[in-house]
């Protein structure tokens, strides 16, 4: 079924607005793009992966697909989307180290926040539940987190959660 012209126009406008803004302040534009794609009856799960990763190239392909255009996949992405094995192989070491440092800091801060709540703690007798994993921050693209999983620094815990793999001897990298 062809896409109504009003929705196609809305998709084009949302994509143009998304392309013309600084990535750091593009959050509301991604939300508008998400709503427009849902109106176009695009697959919600695939859409969430694209919006969650803030992948502008994938969004361009998705808009073309929603409008009924023939869209060619770039070389090397078929395996990346299927198993996640090809994505992130070109992630620089410095970026991976910064992302891992941020992840460790966020887990530590989440644990400190949980420890400071009333009702559980060292004196309350209810026992402490340690925070072991969390959803990775969106400050880095999904390819960086996948590269860290492949490097053995993080481990998948299910439902999008990752945990830190303790290195023997306290080795950081």
pLDDT at 73: 65
pLDDT at 41: 84
pLDDT at 49: 82
pLDDT at 170: 58
Report, as ranges of residue numbers, the positions in the chain whose pLDDT lies below 70.
1, 71, 73-89, 118-129, 168-173
> Between β-strands 133-134 and 154-158, what pairing exists: parallel, antiparallel or unpaired?
unpaired
Indicate the SS3 state at residue 75. Answer: coil
Polymer length of the chain: 173
Helix/strand/coil percent split, the chain, to 5: 55, 5, 40
pTM: 0.48
pLDDT at 171: 60
pLDDT at 100: 93
pLDDT at 86: 40
The domain limits of the chain are 5-72, 93-170
pLDDT at 123: 62
pLDDT at 80: 40
């Amino acid at each position: 079924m062809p896409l109504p012209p009003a929705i196609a126009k809305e998709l084009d406008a949302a994509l143009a607005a998304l392309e013309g803004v600084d990535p750091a302040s593009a959050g509301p534009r991604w939300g508008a793009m998400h709503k427009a794609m849902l109106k176009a009856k695009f697959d919600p799960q695939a859409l969430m992966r694209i919006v969650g990763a803030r992948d502008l190239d994938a969004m361009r392909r998705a808009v073309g697909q929603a409008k009924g255009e023939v869209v060619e996949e770039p070389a090397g992405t078929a395996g990346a989307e299927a198993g996640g094995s090809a994505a992130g192989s070109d992630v620089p070491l410095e970026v991976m180290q910064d992302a891992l440092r941020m992840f460790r800091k966020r887990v530590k801060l989440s644990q400190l926040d949980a420890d400071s709540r009333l009702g559980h703690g060292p004196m309350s007798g209810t026992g402490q539940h340690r925070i072991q994993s969390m959803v990775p921050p969106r400050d880095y693209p999904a390819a960086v987190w996948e590269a860290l999983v492949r490097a053995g620094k993080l481990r998948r815990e299910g439902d999008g959660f990752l945990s830190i793999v303790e290195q023997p001897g306290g080795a950081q990298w």
